[in-house]
Structure 1
Amino acid sequence: MSRFLEGQRRRHAPKLDTVLLETVRESVLAGRGPVTPSTVAAAIQASGRLLGTAGALDAAESINAELSGLGPLQQLAQDPLVTDIFVNGPDSVWFDRGRGLERSLLRFDAEHHVRSLASRLVAAGGRRLDDGSPCVDVRLKGGYRVHAVLAPISTAGTLLSIRIRREQVFTLPELRASGMFSEKIEEVLRAIIERRLSFLISGATGSGKTTLLSTLLGLSHPDERLVLIEDAAELNPVHPHVVCLESRHRNLEGEGSLDLAELVRQALRMRPDRLIVGECRGAEVRELLTALNTGHTGGGGTIHANTAESVPARLVALGALAGMNAEAVQLQVSSALDVVIHVARGRTGRQVTSIGMMAQTPQGPEVVPALTLRRDGIEEGPAWPELSSRLTLGLGT
């Protein structure tokens, strides 16, 4: 049985000795060095408690999680398939392993334990969580992105949402084997990158946009320079030349913020061969569309949208945040973007459900379906002849 499943089944596992925890906490924090597994183990041994070998190992693991990890949630994070953890209350812990949300057997003793963990995690990210700042988003070492909300903003008490960045990047064949797309879709995706078409990957939260984008970027030619702009670093393509710029929140004094729009402007001075915005969610869309219209082909990013066809309207809405009117955005979109790849999460997992081409119509830019996933296979749409021609693919099914 895996450590994850073993931990999930420990409904009646003994609680962490609070006296030992406080003793070890005081000992390691009194030292000048960082909190490490070795310093925790030494402090446990120095406490004089007779725990035995197995007991000492369990205590060291639990205390390490309490002092520098995710506390009781650490055992969930140890499962390599878990991408998200949600705490909706002391007795409501959920996780996602790629098949939709599942309820955990983990429980917190009380609401103040959840708040204490949330406050510690936020503090580790250099920010504060209190009544004056009840909603906070931070990124921690280890690839954790933590969002916390306090009561009374949350009517259910302290809420925690933790997204885990995994170092493993899947190959296209691995994603195809998992059921994300067919062999024909894989061929098209490879050709989109090879032919340097500008693209957006659309979909809902947790649909696999970032996973697919990381994999596709790894297909870029080794001689290309990839500049990635993200709100929180999640992309990790397997490529020899990657530069990542990450936005910065305001500090405790309310200064020092650096948004995505400014980072895109800075990235244009770094001679990117591919300019990628991890997630288009605000005024940075103006800079991205401008870049894609001025010779920076092959770039793109992800965007939240219900369908591929709704992407143009979504871009118009984001452009309004940058002070652009609908007509200006539509003119930019029609010449900046070539392809929209839509992903969705269903009962069978994450799937590429459609690939469409951006086309200019009298009503403005529209995404015309090229390939659409149906129950009985892949259906070719009106834009497939043009897309296959641009990708130099055959028209066979």
Structure 2
Amino acid sequence: MPPKRSVRPRKPSPGAEIPLNAQNGEPPTDNRRQGPTLPAELLRNIVEEVALSHWDSNARRRDLHNLLFVSRDFKNEAERLLFRDIRVISGKPAVKQISSALALHARTRLVHFLRIDEYADLPGRRGRSFDHHFFSMPLHRMDCLRSLSIAQGMPWMPTNKLFGFLANAIPENTLIEFRTSTGLYEDASPFLSRQNMIKDIRASFIGTSLTEALVRSPSLLPRLQCLGMYCFSSDDASQFVQERPVSVLRLASLYGLPTYWNSFQTRLQVLDLSRVSCQDEGSAVQYIRDIVLTAVNLRLFACFTMGADPIANFPTALSVEGFVEALGALRDLAFLETLTVDNFGLSWPDAPHLPRIINAPQLKRIFLALSGTESN
């Protein structure tokens, strides 16, 4: 019997496809010598351009995912963008998939922005559904998390479990921005006391129990600069804002203004009242005059909506005189640079006439929304 010939394994051709790892779908790692690579800044710019070329988030994620398999250099940059901004619906299988992808500590450090939609408390004991819940995500390893946003699935939901979890799960002094559609009560104090770097908070409202705690403890939220809430509801709310460097204010109601901001009115640089609807012409004129006389250092003013309801007393189609009467006082805001206005009606003067009507000395930008369209 003739001896068997040994066959030497053939080397793959330079153009051959590299097989993927059967376990994780990634190119197998080896010690082969790699050719010259692009400069890091150029690689980053290329991947950023790929991400910015899509308005659709699904298409953007798909292209970034494809870049994972181009080369190791592209893989690192694509991962950085894929995990930088995560948005997920609590209770869905995607939560478990993302948690598995974040099993590597190096990946959890890439997460800077995390948004949770349709949050709901866990029903009863932890079971199989826990893997799909927001609480199962490895937040304790997200050392670079800067922004956390939580939108609840149903209104008026208890928040004690949520803030009890956040107080222990989020690494200390990492967050800069926190947004929630829930209210903030005293049960949020342990969480807020561990996040002294927060500069921006937005909540549906701030309960009396928390405002009292904030007044008693000036060390809570010492760097707060941007505050968004429904309205001022008490003198305590005004006092805790006065004791912190708040210069950006977003409100959904005109209740208590301008009385509640008398102590910090000159510090305001941004005032956003775009979610407020004012349907009475006389009230609108008076509120704008109050704003001009008190918040004298405003640089950006998002005006409240006027005349959105055709049944309201405020006319949906203003004359030029009514327009000037409503907004003419803004010319006295010496530092105003940006103005947004919405829903005055179809008989507005043309946009080129607005600088002449308002005539604020530093005004550079005006954003309009006609007939309920969004301003951009």
Q: TM-score, normalised by structure 1?
A: 0.28
Q: Determine which structure has greater relative contact order: mean sequence separation of CA pairs < 8 Å that are 6+ residues apart, divided by chain length.
A: 1
Q: TM-score normalized by structure 2?
A: 0.29
Q: Which is richer in strand?
A: 1
